[in-house]
């Protein structure tokens, strides 16, 4: 299921609130919360190092926020660089 633009922006806004403006601008710039497949959420980050940092440090937060916004349980967040999109 592809996420709507509203859901994508809602997750971004909630993550910006959680991590703060400075961290959000540094790490989450250009992010796209793209689709849900079962219990997986696919996210696209600007490059590979950023994708790894998001997956390592923020995947649990993203899963909780996305579950609330989408209304489905998300158990795993897969963050890929945009070049693989």
- pLDDT over threshold 60, residue 85: no
The verdict on domain 5-84 having CATH code 3.40.50.300 is no
Q: What is the pLDDT of residues 17-61, one digit of tens each?
A: 999 999 999 999 999 999 999 999 999 999 999 999 999 999 999
Q: In what order do the strands lie in the sheet with 76-81?
A: 32-37, 40-45, 76-81
Calculate mean pLDDT across residues 60-74.
97
pTM: 0.92
What are the residue ranges spanned by the domains of the chain? Answer: 5-84
CA angle 12, 50, 28 (to 5 degrees): 20
């Amino acid at each position: 299921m592809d996420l709507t633009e509203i859901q994508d922006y809602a997750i971004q806004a909630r993550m910006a609130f959680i991590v703060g403006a400075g961290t959000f601008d540094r790490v989450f710039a250009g992010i796209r919360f793209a689709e849900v497949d079962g219990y997986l959420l696919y996210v696209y980050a600007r490059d590979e190092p950023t994708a790894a940092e998001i997956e390592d440090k923020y995947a649990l937060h993203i899963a909780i926020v996305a579950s609330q916004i989408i209304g489905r349980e998300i158990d795993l967040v897969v963050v890929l660089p945009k070049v693989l999109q």
